[in-house]
Each structure stands twice: as C-alpha cells, then as structure tokens.
Structure 1
Amino acid sequence: MSVLWVDASSGASGDMLLGALVGAGVPVEVMQSAIDAVAPEPIALRVEAVRRGGLAATRVHVDVAESHHHRTWRDVRALLGDADLAVAVFQRLAVAEATVHGTTPDEVHFHEVGALDAIADVVGVCAGFAHLGATSVTVSPVAVGSGTIQAAHGTLPVPPPAVAELLRGVPSYAGDVPMELCTPTGAALLTTLATGWGPQPAMSVEEIGVGAGGRDPDGHANVVRLFVGGGFEAGSARTSTADTTGAGPLLLECNVDDLDPRVWPAVIAALLEAGASDAWLTPILMKKGRPAHTLSALVDGEHATGVRTAIFQQTSTIGLREQPLTKHALEREFASVDVGGQTISVKLARHDGTVVNAQPEYDDVAGAAAVLDRPVADVLAEATALARQFLIGTVL
C-alpha cells in the first residue's frame, strides 16, 4: 500500500496523469489492459521521453483512429461496465457538464470529453492508481490557468465552466501563464481520486513520476508530478489519543431530498460494507421548506473511493462535500461479564493507560435477554453495573 502526492501546481490533464504514472513505475501494460477491456475501438498507449520547461518527463500518447462519435453519459456508462472508479469519474464529468449546460447528466453529449482518447485517459489513470494500491492520495492546489480557449461551443473563459464546476470546494488558482492548465478530464480524475488536498504529506518518497502535457510553452513546465512512497508517523511511537497516520479520516456528506425513506437502512449498510467506519442521517430543512436528510460517512483514505462510489450508486445525490478531519480515538479492548450464565462482551476505552469507559455490547445484551426471558433494560442495567469493575478506582 502507498501514500501518494499529486503536484498539480502546473495543471493537470488525463494524459499528464498517465505519463506521471508510467514515470512512477506503473507498467504501461497495466493501463493498456484495462483500456482494452472497455474500448469499443482499438486504442494504443505509446510512451515517449520528452522535456518540458527543461525537465525530463514522460509523455503518453493515446493513439486512436479518427472518430466523430459523440457519446452520451448513458453510452459511456454502458462501455465502462463494472469499472466502478472510472464510472465515478465520468459521472462527475456528466454532472458538471449538465450543470453548466442546463440539462440532465444522461443527456450530456461529451464532445471532446467523450472521445476515445478521454475514455482511455480515465480508464488508464484509474487502473494505474489502483495498481499502486494507495492508502491516501493528497493533491496540491490545482493551477487552472487564465485567458480563453476555443471549444465545441465557441470561445470559453479559462477555467472552462466544466472545470470551474468540478473544482467547487477544491483549492485552485490561476497559475502563472495565460493558457488552459487543467482540463475537465484532469479535474474529474483529481476530485475523484483525492482523499485530501494540500502540500506534500509526511511520507518516505520512493518514486517520482513526471507526466508531460502536449505543449511546451516558454517559461512553464507543463507537467504533473506524482510522488509515491510510504507513510510514517510523527515521532517514534504512535500516541494513544490521536490518529497521526498520513491517511487521516475524511467526512463525506451530501443532502438528499428525493429518496424513498424506506431505502435509508440499506444505504447505511452499504456504506459500512464499503469501508465507512460510521455512517448516519441528520434530518434537515432545505430551501423552499423541503424536508430532507444529510447523509454523513466517516471513512479513512484507504476506503474513501469505495464509499464515494457506494454513495453515488445507492442514493440520488449528484455531488458530495468532503473534508479532512483530525480524529482523537482512545485505545480500545474487550473484556466480558456474566449475567445469568450468559457472557456479555464489554468494550473498554483507555486514556493514557487508564480505563475511562466500560460499555456492554448491546447485541450481546439483547441476545442474553432473549435466552433468559428478561427485559432488555434489566439485563443492560445488570451488565452495566458489573462492567464498572473495570473502571479504575471503582468500589464494588
């Protein structure tokens, strides 16, 4: 498992990320195989060593036959099949394009974004990151550029509307050159793959990949850098009160006002199955007085991608809020007590070596109550009283 840092201070695109992955040691065959599994027409990846702004870099060319087939999100989703991470990336693109063009995601015609080379970029990059087995992916603030570009709909400002929409809530800035630095594909990949945003985290760097864009403007290194390594903890030993690993917890949230409430228990179960350490609902009142719920999930970096995918698959939301958290967790262990011949587990929590909390496990309590034909409240009260023996200084 790896800790990754993506330096997007010079922008980002799909082909730049492909190059960074190859430069960091991901075999091009890994990405080619994933592309071959979904591509409707032949697509070939070709690797070239180049220089950008005086830096040695890797460029990955995506060679395809000329195609004028404009695919909708529905078309692309059918091609991708069960490639969940790639589906999540393209779903972000579809939602962003639908938002800026005032339509629905299923009716979006991707134009350049839906071309074969973009499908190759998304599928190849997702396969490369999966190959690295990242426990966390931190991305620097993203340089987006400035000025204008020519697109299918005419002259557009930089950042293009879809990029601006994709980077909502994400640290970004113009950068130092008047050109498009971040493409919609690059923005969708970064926002899907990232488990956090900021400078390089604490890590022991083992590989550095430098991925090149197609242009080499004067005074600007048109590259993405990918640092791959292992995380380490601050200090010689992990403390008992704080999570100090490089992959801190994340809080994922979305507001939903159009889901049948009978579905929520299955949604919560699916998020926990996908790796969330906790998931919960909060009733809220949205604009125009609409009742709704905020769905929240607490997850570590290793499982963030799976939980994001589960939220999009299990609910009707089309966007997520995400923020890193600092979590303070006590050391935990289990003991047991006996109630009427039934063993009930007790969760103990220690602070600086001292037991400060002792709670019977409710499932065990309910099971014992059923066997003993006693009210659950009575068994819980007896188990709680017995559990006090584990608290330091308690007199029984």
Structure 2
Amino acid sequence: MKTLYLDCFSGISGNMFLAALLDLGLDRKEFLEKMETLRIPSGHHHHGEVHHDSGAGYEIHIKDTVRNGFSGIDLTVTSTEDHPHRGLMDVWDVIDKSGLSHNVKQKSKDAFKLLAEAEGKVHGLPPEKVHFHEVGAVDSIVDIVGAFVLMEMLEPDSVICSPLNVGSGTIRCAHGVLPVPAPATENLLIGMPVYSAGSPIERVTPTGALLVKMLASHFGTMPAGKVMGSGRGLGSRESDIPNFLRVTLLEETKEKDNAPSASKEEPFIRDVGILLETNIDDMNPQYYEPVMERLFSIGAMDVWLETIIMKKGRPAIRLCCLVSLSQEEQAAEIILKGTTTLGLRRSEVDRIKLRHHITPMETTFGLVRIKEAWWGNERLRANPEYEDLKRISKETGIPLNSLREEVLRQIEEMGHP
C-alpha cells in the first residue's frame, strides 16, 4: 500500500505541489512531454515576447535550488498573456483538446467544477457563469492539470494530508484587498482542519486547497510505514517558517512477521491517537460549545461530552478529545484555558480505521463528494458528504433526508464513483 503524505506546515500551492512531486524523483522529461499536449490559447501578448517552443502558450521552468538553507525544486509557469478571465467552459475546452489520458482530463475537469462552485458561492453566481480571474490564468490551469498528470505517474494508493497552515494577513486580488484565507479558498477549506502560524502571508492558495480537497482521503499525522522517498517544493515567499511543501512516499506497514499471513496486507489502517479527558462539575454548559469548536478547528479527530455522576451525587460532564501527537499541546492549552478544570488525563490509544477516500461525483444536483469505505478490495459503503448535502438542501429547499436518498440512488445507478 503506497501512501503519499503531504506535510503542509507552511501551507500548499499548486506550483509547490508539482515541485515536491518532481523532487520525489518523478521523470521530469516524461512530465513535460505530457504537458506539451495541453495547449492554452493565449489572451493578449506583449509585443516582442517569444512563445513556448511547443506552441503550448506557456513555459514550465523546473529548477533545482537552495532557498533559506533548504534544497528542493522551484517550479514556475510563465506565459505572455495579459490575464484573460476564462470561464468554466473555456477551461474544460482546453482540457478536452489536450492529449492527456481520460482519467487526467476527467479529474482536472472535476477540479475546475469544484473551483467554479467555490468562486460562485462568493459572488452569488452559478458555476457556469463564473470567471476565474487569477485561477483562470495559464499558471493555475497548468498547476491543476499538472498535478493530476504527476499523480497518474506516481499512482499512490492513498493521499493523507496534515492540518493546513493557512497563514494570515491580507492578499490583493481581482476584487481588492481581502483577508487570508481568500473567500474562494475559505469555501474549499470547508471540512478541513486548519490553523494559522508564522508571519502574515497567504500560505494556502485556492489551487492548493483545491488539490487537497480532490486528493486527500483524510487528515492527520504521518502514517506508520517504510519511507520510500521525500521531496520539497519550494515556495517563493519570505517567511519565518521555512516556506516549502514536504511530501513523503511511504510503503504502509504490513502485518507483523509472526502473524499467520505475514505477506498479506491488512484490510484496515492502524494508527495512534492521544486521548485528553477531564471531569468538570462547576462550569456553565454554554461554554462547552466554543471549546469544542476550537478543538475541531485545530484538527482534532473527535471531541465529545459524557454525562457522569461525581462525589456527593453531583452531576458532571466528562470532556474528551482525541488528537494526534502534534496537536496535543495546542489541544491541552485550549481545554485548560477555556474550561474550569485544573488538569487533564492523557493516554495513548491505538486506532483501527477502515481505508476510505473521497471522490467527487456528478449528480443531477451538481458535484457531490462521495466518501467510500473499503475492507481490502471490498467496498462496504458509500455516503455523500454531509456538508455538500446541507448546501444543496439550502439552495434547493429539498429536505436533507430525501436529498440523501436520491443521491444514494444515483450512486447505485452509476455503480460507484
């Protein structure tokens, strides 16, 4: 089981993702040859500037370099266009006319559909009416399509992502100066664990958030396994945190040698979490919700409350929080500062999880993300993402339960996404 782990401690952008995968050792020549079949009609050109030799309308520059003491790959895309505002259909047309595989084309188109929906929510427009501004520029098209080309070359079985450092401050874009994360990025980040650290810059771009949404099956710390390789995609911004995306390719651990079938891969995933818990009998119940929300916002795997009876028959609450090792101190601080408790119990817990991944699926209501759970090669169930159903229910007025049943019916009709 080959797993790609994305460590987004300094955020993620499209070009950092491409650079990190190439630094992992993927064939640059093969990548560039595939990308030359993606030809992007340019907008206006500056007089006297030269096109890409292939006639693709852009150039991809891959450079081995050292930045702030760290070696890696710096990847940039240049073109001569004056930033035309492409629509979804324009981008789909460019993708369809390329010589790339059906799989790469379909995933790239699905990604731009998700992006159009995220942009559309910001401006109150349906996806087909959205003009992409920055994201419709040549470099963004190359970043998104290039990511699926490289993923097809790498063929990992799953992608796991760390919580995302989104950064802070403001960014100047087509609609003026806006706070980080930018509105479209914020829509794409729904359901993902995020935090903000380091100097105030935009660390997760719309393209970066989109790729994580499309590729990552779940979030957390690096899984157990044998390291097969690692790569660094260098960012261009100055930062107090080293500005690169680190990717690690792992061969996930097989069953122990003394197991009956040592060569057989386990049908589920094992990992370790930290359980923090405390008993509280003297706090206003209204204060639990904000504490729980803050714990989820840093990427807690789960947070829950249990009713208990303490000494002298006092009713009380046990607050429980399951986090990864890297989130432990942050979670402890949130609980100790946000509640009336004076201390926490801490224990390590072994977890057994089904392998699962999320696949966007086209339904009559638009694109819906489907979460599939697997036991080895057997698909146990497929469920539409709650956040997607909630959004569609709000837009259409269809009750959530009816909507879910209809989407499930469509999944069955199509086999599986």
TM-score range, shorter chain: 0.5 to 0.7
CA RMSD, 1 decimal? 3.6
Residue equivalent to 1:340: none
- CA deviation after TM superposition for structure 1 residue 249, in Å: 2.2
Of the candidates 160, 185, 196, which is equivalent to residue 138 of structure 1?
A: 160
Q: Cα deviations across residues 250-294 of structure 1 (Å, max 9, x unaligned)?
A: 2759999966xxxxxxxx9xx99xx88255689x99565644234
- CA deviation after TM superposition for structure 1 residue 25, in Å: 0.5
More off after superposition, 55-64 vs 2-11:
55-64
Q: Cα deviations across residues 219-252 of structure 1 (Å, max 9, x unaligned)?
A: 2211000101311135333699x73347942275
Residue equivalent to 1:243: 267
Of the candidates 151, 155, 161, which is equivalent to residue 173 of structure 2?
A: 151
Residue equivalent to 1:369: none
* Percent of aligned positions that are identical: 32
Instruction: Measure the CA separation in 2 of the matches of 1:121 and 1:133.
Output: 18
Change (3 A) 1:138 1:256: closer
Instruction: Measure the CA separation in 2 of the matches of 1:182 and 1:78.
Output: 27
Residue equivalent to 2:137: 115
Structure 2 contact 217–358 (Cα < 8 Å) conserved: no
Change (3 A) 1:46 1:166: same
- The two structures have a TM-score, normalised by structure 2, of 0.62
- The answer to whether residue 379 in structure 2 is matched with residue 277 in structure 1 is yes
Of the candidates 244, 247, 257, which is equivalent to residue 223 of structure 1?
A: 244
Instruction: Measure the CA separation in 1 of the matches of 2:361 and 2:57.
Output: 41
Residue equivalent to 2:288: none
Structure 1 contact 2–132 (Cα < 8 Å) conserved: no
Instruction: Measure the CA separation in 1 of the matches of 2:361 and 2:14.
Output: 30
- CA deviation after TM superposition for structure 1 residue 163, in Å: 0.9
Any gaps of 5 or more consecutive residues in structure 1?
260-267, 300-306, 312-396
Instruction: Measure the CA separation in 2 of the matches of 1:33 and 1:105.
Output: 31
Structure 1 contact 256–293 (Cα < 8 Å) conserved: no
Instruction: Measure the CA separation in 2 of the matches of 1:53 and 1:205.
Output: 25
More off after superposition, 95-104 vs 228-237:
228-237
Instruction: Measure the CA separation in 1 of the matches of 2:156 and 2:15.
Output: 20
Helix, strand or coil at the partner of 2:404:
strand
Residue equivalent to 2:63: 48
Q: Cα deviations across residues 287-333 of structure 1 (Å, max 9, x unaligned)?
A: 65644234459x9xxxxxxx99x75xxxxxxxxxxxxxxxxxxxxxx
Helix, strand or coil at the partner of 2:140:
helix
Residue equivalent to 2:84: 69
Structure 1 contact 36–43 (Cα < 8 Å) conserved: no
Of the candidates 217, 232, 243, which is equivalent to residue 253 of structure 2?
A: 232
Q: Cα deviations across residues 144-186 of structure 1 (Å, max 9, x unaligned)?
A: 1111111000011101111111010011111222110010001
Aligned residue pair count: 289
What amino acid is the match of 1:150? Answer: R
**Superposed, which structure 2 residues align to 1:168-247 within 5 Å?**
168-217=190-239, 219-233=240-254, 235-236=256-257, 237=259, 243-245=267-269
Residue equivalent to 1:161: 183
Residue equivalent to 2:404: 293
Helix, strand or coil at the partner of 1:292:
helix
Residue equivalent to 2:332: none
Structure 1 contact 28–45 (Cα < 8 Å) conserved: no
Residue equivalent to 1:348: none
What amino acid is the match of 2:268? Answer: T
Change (3 A) 1:289 1:48: closer
Structure 1 contact 53–220 (Cα < 8 Å) conserved: no
Helix, strand or coil at the partner of 2:30:
helix
Structure 2 contact 135–207 (Cα < 8 Å) conserved: yes
Instruction: Measure the CA separation in 2 of the matches of 1:199 and 1:251.
Output: 16
Greater CA radius of gyration, 1 or 2? 1
Residue equivalent to 1:79: 94
